[in-house]
Amino acid sequence: MTDTSATNERIGAALVHPYLNHAVRMYETKYASRADIDAAMRFGCGYPAGPLTLLDQLGLDVVRESLAAMYAETGDHLHQPADLLESLVGQGHLGRATGRGFYTWSGEEVVADAETPSADDRPQLRHDIVSVGVVGTGTMASGIVEVFAKAGYDVTYVGRSEEKLDGVVATITKSLDRAISKGKSDEATKTAVLGRLTGATTREALADVDLVVEAIAEDLAIKTELFADLDRICRPGAILATTTSSLPIASCASATSRPEAVIGMHFFNPAPVMKLVEVVTTEQTSTEVDETVRALCAKTGKVAVSCGDRAGFIVNALLFPYLNDAVTLSEQGEHALVEIDAAIKEQVELPMGPFELLDVVGNDVSLAIQKELLAEFGEPGFTPAASLERAVAEGRLGRKTGQGFHDYR
C-alpha cells in the first residue's frame, strides 16, 4: 500500500466509521427502518450505497475494531461501537463476507429477508387527493408546485403579491423549457402543466384543496400563525404539511384543531430533481395521513422515507456530524482540505468531499443545523467545530459568497 493510499484509508476511517455508527444507532432505536435509512442517504445525498449497506460491504468486524480503537483514544461516546454492531459481530454476522449482516447476502447481491418490504407493503392513498395547495413563492415552493403540477394535480399556490406569483410561473416555465431543449419534454406537456397552476394572494383560495404544503420562512412563530389560519380555512379532512427541516412539526400541529392531519414533507432542493422526501410524523399524526402522503410521494415520482419528529430527521442527523468531524480533523493540521476531500471521494466514492459539500450547502446553514443537533442530542461530540464557527463569523459561507473552506473567486 502506498503512503497516499494508507493516508486516504486513515482519513476515510476517521470520518466514515463514526457516520456508520450513527446510522446503526438510528436503526437500533427504531427511529427509522433499515431500508429508509439507506434510501435517505442514497437519494438525499447521491451516495452510491446507504450506510448499513456500506457497513456490510466493509465488514462489521473491521468497522467495529476501528471504532473501538478510536473510542479508546478519544473517550467520545460517538466512537463507542453501537450495541447492535457489537451484537452482530459477536454472532458472527459480519456482513457480505459471511452472507449476513444488516442484510442477507448471496455473493455480491442483497436477497430478500424478513425485513424486506413486499409489494403488499406499498402505501395506499387513504384520502382522495385531487388538488394541492402550496404556501410560498420561493425556490423550494416553486419546485414543489412544479412537482405536483407535472404529476397531474391542480395546484393553487399562495404568495404575497402578483409579482411573487408571476415569479413562480417564470421559474416553472424556465424549468419546462430546459426539459424541452434536452428532449425530455414537449410543448403540449408544458401547456398542460402551466394550465394546472392557479396563483392567489389570499389564503382563502385554499379552502377546498385536499392537501396544503407550507414552504415559507423557517420561523416557528410565522409557521404556527400560518397553521392556525390554515386550520380555519381548509376543509375538514384536508391534510396540512410542512417542509421544515429544523422546526418541531408538533408545534405546527398544536396550532390546529386537527393535529392528526399535520405531517412533515421535507423535500430536498431542487425539488423537481431530487428524489427524496422525508415524511415526518408526530405522535399524533394518523396512520391514514402518513400512508396517504407516502403514497402521494410515489405518485409524484419521489422516494418517501419515514421518520419521527426530531432534529435532523434522517439525512441531516447523519450528514452534518460527519461534515463537522471533517472540519475538526482539519484543525489537527495533519491533512490539507483538498487531501481530505480527495481521500473521501477515493475511499467511499462519494460525489463530493466534505469541504466541497460544506461550501455548496453553505457554512451558515451547516452551523445552524449542527447547533440544532447538539441541542437535540446533547452529545459533546456534536459541538460545532471552531473553524466552522470562524468561517461563518468571517462571512466565508461557501460558494454563495465566493469563499468558504475553498476559494471560488
Active site residues: 245, 266, 278, 316
Residue 292 · residue 129 · CB < 8 Å: yes
Cβ atoms of 326 and 341 within 8 Å: the answer is no
Using CA atoms, how far apart are residues 168 and 202, in angstroms rounded to an integer? Answer: 16
Task: Give whole-number Cα distances, 90 to 64, 78, 85, 238, 385, in Å.
Answer: 11, 20, 9, 50, 35
Our CA angle for 253, 259, 262, nearest 5°, is: 70
Locate 160 and state its grid cell: 404575497
Between CA 326 and CA 356 the distance in angstroms is 11
Provide the 8-state DSSP code for 95: B
**Cell triple for residue 352?**
463530493
Using an 8 Å Cβ cutoff, are 106 and 273 in contact? no
Which runs of consecutive H residues, i.e. helices, occur in 118-161?
A: 139-150
- Are 67 and 80 in contact, with CB atoms under 8 Å apart? yes
Which residues, in sequence order, are CB contacts of 70 under 8 Å at separation 6+?
14, 17, 18, 76, 79
Identify residue 113 by its one-letter amino acid code: D
Backbone angles phi, psi at 307, to 5 degrees: -160, 175
> Which grid cell is 364?
451558515
* Cα separation, 243 vs 251, whole angstroms: 13
Q: Which helix (H) or strand (E) holds 219?
A: none
Structure letter (DSSP) for residue 82: P
Q: Please spell the DSSP secondary structure of 60-113, one letter per residue.
A: HHHHHHHHHHHHHHH--GGGSPPHHHHHHHHTT--BGGGTBSSSEEETTEEE--
**Alpha-carbon span 65 to 336, nearest angstrom:** 26
